Amino acid sequence: MPLPVPVPPDGVDPAWLPPAAFRPLGSRRILIRGSGPLVDTVHGEVAEACARSEGRVVRGPGPGAAAFDLVLEVDGVGGETFTCGRRDGTTTVTALGGAGLLYGLFHVVRLGEEAFSGEWAPETHRPALALRMLDHWDNVAVHPVMGQVERGYAGGSLFWADGRARGDLDRVRSYGRLLAACGINAVAVNNVNVHETEAHLLTDRIGEVAAIAAALRPYGIRTHLSVTFAAPMVLGGLPTADPLDPAVRAWWAEATRRVYEEIGDFGGYVVKADSEGQPGPFAYGRSHADGANLLAAALEPYGGTVHWRAFVYDHHQDWRDRTTDRARAAYDHFVPLDGEFAANAVLQVKHGPMDFQVREPVSPLIGAVPRTRLAVEVQATQEYTGQQRHACWLGPMWSEVLRFRPQGPEGPSVGELAEELVAVSNAGDDPFWTGHPLAQANLYTFGRLAWEPGADPHRLLDEWIGLTFAPVARPTADGVRAVLDGSWRTYEKYTAPLGVGFMVQPGHHYGPSVDGYEYSPWGTYHFADRDGIGVDRSAATGTGYAAQYAKPWSQTYESPETCPDELLLFFHHVPYGHVLHSGRTVIQHIYDSHFEGVEEVEEAVRMWASLAGLMDPARHARVAERYEEQLRSAREWRDQINSYFFRKSGVPDERGRRIC
């Protein structure tokens, strides 16, 4: 039986699955072979596309493939792999399982007319990373400071409303469909900061999680849950959450058994422990391996996984203390535990050592735990990259991370070392899903990169443009590409310079405040004085962080002479007159890049205006409105940063531009 395609509520943007994207497929004669729930989903998709465009679909063994333009068949025992080729006028997708067929179908949609022209030998497509996951930092209850979605810039939660799981889950089904179309296969439905209400999702409110899981399942997505390490105390009334206490172990085993009674294919737990006030094993003198293995043991009988976050650092640092370096923390905590984690425990590591800044080196932890399963975490929600008010396409940044080779040029890339890729989701109940319609490109690119970490992100951007604006005309494609392509570097230019990071307003993290975190306990400093700026993280004279890397990176980063310009102030404290590889001094680079960054935003605003009339007016208007704010904000960044450094250094701009 075909499963009907979910219909999102009126006014919700179709994102990268507009009906027009299905037209090439929908006008064909299509045969579907195979059975099972995901094949029913594929059947529903194809039936709807055909009904719209006068195609024809047959389900069953079929009368010989030659009579069809497209054959979608399952031939195997399961899995996500599919093969696609074209011969004698028939395109064939052969998948190992229902999930593979679903991904094969969306592959054909992406190819469009190309899927039905010429001939090509069968090509096999399989995801490089087994788990491609979104973590939602959604709260059930609206948090007094953070709102409903922590660091959420796209309205309220997709899953939770009025204090409980949404009754109408059509929007969630549509979300699952969008995610499947870019290759995502797992979702964690609540914030890693687990507050009191949300703690109960694990036990007495698991039925609500089950309802969400049921809505996502038809699109091949497994549901995960963030849990508090203190659950045995908070929910079970035990006097301790000590991971080695038998009563604690029994409590987790029983709680987990009940979870699987409700959700047979439950993915597992996500845990933020001993981090920013969340409880963890340190309170009992136990290690993070003890903590993770406790939950791993409870999940093991059912095939579940615990995602244990490595974001553990001291957030009560004394800013006067120059020896403590937050960047070192994840490596220092977790490298000694390599080899101690259970087989179903995955260490989830932020891609950089600090916190999702516009520019950071790759976390040295990623290359240093060969006996630990790794998930790399990126942030699609743009906490530090414009909060979905600024257009900032992060594809190139994530791609750089995934291609980096932590053990040196001959060693494996991050995309090869990681088993899984996780993004903090940027979606909410906003009609455009992501607040800024162009931020949809981040979600899409993330999913596709998780499938194929070596892919050229620019190709993925073109894919997104082709689908989202289908049928896309040249000027629209060129215009959208022009405003997004370099938008990450543009953002970098007008914000904190040369990898130094932060300089944001405390708390909400939007907009400039150069010294906002300079005398705070959060470990995020730039140390600017009248002579220079930057953090000395060298082994010779600094915090020693550079030595956490394998060669050659430890050497590359150790010296200001070899350190790449864009990371210079992350690794070194240098005088304003220090000459970069670019030939410019640091201070002149600060001035120039800030003027350039704003000019680039001005150019993007003009480009966007020229696209009026070429697309859905509501989408155009929403982006135009966001650009007004981006331009205002970029000018504010430019002027505050330039004035600050002019006043500190007393060095005038070589080009005599206006700096207040």
Q: How far is the CB of 640 from ligand GCW (least distance, A)?
A: 21
Q: How far is the CB of 350 from ligand GCW (least distance, A)?
A: 7
Consecutive H or E run containing 591:
helix 586-610
Restricted to residues 308-337, the positions that interact with ligand GCW (CB under 6 A) are: 311
Residue of the chain from 272, 288, 448, 537 that contacts ligand GCW (CB under 6 A): 272
Q: How far is the CB of 149 from ligand GCW (least distance, A)?
A: 10
**Tokens read off for 255:** 């709680």
Between CA 363 and CA 361 the distance in angstroms is 6
Between CA 119 and CA 609 the distance in angstroms is 41
Q: Is 226 in the site for ligand GCW (CB under 6 A)?
A: no
**Tokens read off for 473:** 């005309």
**Residue-by-residue DSSP string for 224-278:** EEE--TTHHHHTT--S---TT-HHHHHHHHHHHHHHHHH-TT--EEEE--SBTTB
Closer by beta carbon to ligand GCW, 151 or else 589:
151
**Tokens read off for 615:** 């697309």
Q: How far is the CB of 176 from ligand GCW (least distance, A)?
A: 23
What angle do helix axes 487-494 and 617-649 make, rounded to 10 degrees?
30
Q: How far is the CB of 206 from ligand GCW (least distance, A)?
A: 22
Q: Is 192 in the site for ligand GCW (CB under 6 A)?
A: yes
Residue 267 burial (C-beta neighbours within 10 Å; 0-12, 13-18, 19+): buried
| Residues paired with 71 in a beta bridge | 31, 92
Count of residues interacting with ligand GCW (CB under 6 A) = 10
Mark whether 276 is an active-site residue.
yes
Candidate list 45, 69, 242, 383, residue with the active-site label: 383
Closer by beta carbon to ligand GCW, 150 or else 300:
150
Provide the sign of the torsion angle of the four alpha carbons 228, 233, 238, 241, taken in this order: positive
Q: Is 274 in the site for ligand GCW (CB under 6 A)?
A: no
Q: How far is the CB of 434 from ligand GCW (least distance, A)?
A: 18
Closer by beta carbon to ligand GCW, 40 or else 138:
138
**How far is residue 232 from each of residues 228, 238, 245, 269, measured CA to CA in Å?**
9, 6, 11, 15
Residue of the chain from 81, 185, 193, 468 that contacts ligand GCW (CB under 6 A): 193
String of contacts with ligand GCW for each residue 342-361, x by CB under 6 A:
-------------xx-----
Candidate list 114, 196, 276, 529, residue with the active-site label: 276
| Residues paired with 533 in a beta bridge | 574
Q: How big is the CA angle at 641 (ends 145 and 643), to the nearest 5 degrees? A: 125
Closer by beta carbon to ligand GCW, 22 or else 137:
137
Mark whether 383 is an active-site residue.
yes
Q: Do 430 and 158 touch, CB atoms closer than 8 A? A: no
Q: Do 496 and 357 touch, CB atoms closer than 8 A? A: yes
Residue that is written with structure tokens 């906002």 in the block: 516
Q: How far is the CB of 192 from ligand GCW (least distance, A)?
A: 5
Residue of the chain from 23, 151, 573, 578 that contacts ligand GCW (CB under 6 A): 151
Residue nearest to ligand GCW (CB): 355
Q: Is 545 in the site for ligand GCW (CB under 6 A)?
A: no
Between CA 160 and CA 355 the distance in angstroms is 27
Closer by beta carbon to ligand GCW, 25 or else 443:
443
Restricted to residues 364-403, the positions that interact with ligand GCW (CB under 6 A) are: 383
**Tokens read off for 350:** 């932020």
Closer by beta carbon to ligand GCW, 137 or else 608:
137
Mark whether 338 is an active-site residue.
no
Restricted to residues 125-144, the positions that interact with ligand GCW (CB under 6 A) are: 137
Q: Is 570 in the site for ligand GCW (CB under 6 A)?
A: no
| Interacting residues with ligand GCW (CB under 6 A) | 137, 150-151, 192-193, 272, 311, 355-356, 383
Which residues are the active-site residues?
276, 355, 383
